[in-house]
């Protein structure tokens, strides 16, 4: 039996136990993470927390709808047992919400396809080889970037302040993504500080010879996977190999203790091509995109 519980009704200890020990465990699904990055969230719960599906939601024109929060790459269903049918969760979700846009995780593979499930892609790199072997699998232009960065005055620095990365991001990537609001950046700042405090996040920065910040990234560490959650380069100075140095240096650090490097994912061909140039491979996931608002749909798009 699947129940729809509000955040207040949730048994948090049972919920977080399910997330921690699930087949699909992801940091984004823990209660503390959802509390930080969502406006509101409910949960679909199977039996006695054998499986859960967190649901970030907002309200617009008196209608509750499911939305994808910034700074959250994967959600979906999380289960303690490998043999679980995901579809009943999706059916309950569609019965209870008239507008849904939500990412699943790469371990959610519904047995049947549906018109409301869209195929998406992310890029991941196995860290089972040593660092030199991984670099040999970089595309030639990435290898040239590594060589260029090594012989230049670029230097890496771990442990920078979140404010520096956010400032770099806002003035570069942020200019191309105006939908990211001031509140979203404030949430990111709180999230980064919380992850640093919990020792599940780290910041790596790259500076040029004049001590200008030219690249920076925030990495999440969960179980045996490292994920590049947020990163940016200085768009006015992109030919020095700084971003390649950033990623290569992170791979070097994490290769010994982790199995997988997640680039944060993108279905955009240009970004996906760049990540694949590090020897990464494509991993597919699905997104639920559903609406039953024929007359109000245009309002939800604004």
Let me know if residue 268 belongs to a domain.
Answer: no
How much is the pLDDT for 149? Answer: 82
pLDDT at 172 over 60: yes
- Asked if residue 205 and residue 154 are part of one domain, the reply reads yes
Q: Is there a domain that residue 98 lies in?
A: yes
Whether 145 and 55 share a structural domain: no
Q: Are residues 141 and 108 in the same domain?
A: no
The reply to whether 274 falls in a domain is no
User: Which residues have a Cβ under 8 Å from the Cβ of 187 and sit 6 or more positions away?
Assistant: 36, 37, 70, 71
Q: Tell whether the model's pLDDT for residue 301 goes beyond 60.
A: no
Report if residue 178 sits inside a domain.
yes
The CATH number of whichever domain residue 107 belongs to comes to 3.40.630.30
Burial of 119 (0-12, 13-18, 19+ CB in 10 A): exposed
Tens digits of residue pLDDT in 211-225: 999 999 999 999 999
**pLDDT tens-digit series, residues 69-105:** 999 999 999 999 988 899 899 999 999 999 999 999 9
Check whether residue 174 and residue 212 sit in a common domain.
Answer: yes
pLDDT digits (tens, 9 = 90+) for 108-142: 977 666 788 999 999 999 999 998 999 999 999 99
Instruction: Average the pLDDT over each of 11-20, 110-119, 156-165, 242-251 and give the range with the smallest value.
Output: 110-119
| Residues 116 and 133 reside in one and the same domain | no
Shared domain for 9 and 97, answered yes or no, is: yes
Residues 139, 252 within the same domain: yes
Q: Are residue 141 and residue 63 in the same domain, yes or no?
A: no
pLDDT tens profile 197-208: 999 999 999 999
> In angstroms, rounded to a whole number, what is the distance separating the alpha carbons of residues 25 and 105?
9
Residue 164, domain extent: 129-258
Kindly state whether residue 273 falls inside one of the protein's structural domains.
no
Note whether residue 276 is domain-resident. Answer: no
Q: Does 103 lie in the same domain as 206?
A: no
Is 14 part of a structural domain of the chain?
yes
> Closest Cα partner for 217 from 267, 258, 186, 254?
254
64 and 103 fall within a common domain: yes
The pLDDT of residue 3: 97
- DSSP letters, 82-117, are SS--SHHHHHHHHHH-SEEEEE--TT---SS--TTE
Tally the domains of the chain: 2
pTM check: above 0.75: yes
Residue 264 lies in a domain: no
Do 203 and 91 fall into the same domain?
no
State how far the Cα of 263 lies from the Cα of 281, in Å rounded to an integer: 10
Same domain membership, residue 133 and residue 199: yes
């Amino acid at each position: 039996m699947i129940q729809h519980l509000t955040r207040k009704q949730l048994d948090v200890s049972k919920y977080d136990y399910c997330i921690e020990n699930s087949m699909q465990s992801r940091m984004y699904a823990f209660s503390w993470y959802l509390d930080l990055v969502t406006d509101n969230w409910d949960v679909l719960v199977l039996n006695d927390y054998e499986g859960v599906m967190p649901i970030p939601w907002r309200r617009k024109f008196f209608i509750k709808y499911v939305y994808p929060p910034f700074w959250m790459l994967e959600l979906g269903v999380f289960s303690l047992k490998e043999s679980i049918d995901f579809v009943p969760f999706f059916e309950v979700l569609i019965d209870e919400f008239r507008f849904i846009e939500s990412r699943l995780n790469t371990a959610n593979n519904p047995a049947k396809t549906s018109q409301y499930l869209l195929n998406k892609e992310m890029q991941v790199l196995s860290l089972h080889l040593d660092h030199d072997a991984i670099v040999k699998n970089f595309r030639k232009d990435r290898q040239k970037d590594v060589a260029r960065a090594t012989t230049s005055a670029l230097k890496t620095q771990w442990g920078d302040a979140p404010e520096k990365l956010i400032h770099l991001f806002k003035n570069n990537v942020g200019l191309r993504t105006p939908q990211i609001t001031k509140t979203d950046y404030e949430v990111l700042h709180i999230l980064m500080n919380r992850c640093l405090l919990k020792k599940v996040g780290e910041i790596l920065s790259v500076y040029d010879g004049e001590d200008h910040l030219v690249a920076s990234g925030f990495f999440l560490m969960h179980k045996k996977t490292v994920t590049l959650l947020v990163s940016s380069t200085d768009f006015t100075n992109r030919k020095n190999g700084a971003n390649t140095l950033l990623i290569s240096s992170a791979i070097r650090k994490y290769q010994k203790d982790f199995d997988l490097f997640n680039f944060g994912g993108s279905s955009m061909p240009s970004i996906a091509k760049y990540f694949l140039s590090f020897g990464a491979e494509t991993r597919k996931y699905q997104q639920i995109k559903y609406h039953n608002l024929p007359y109000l749909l245009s309002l939800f798009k604004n």
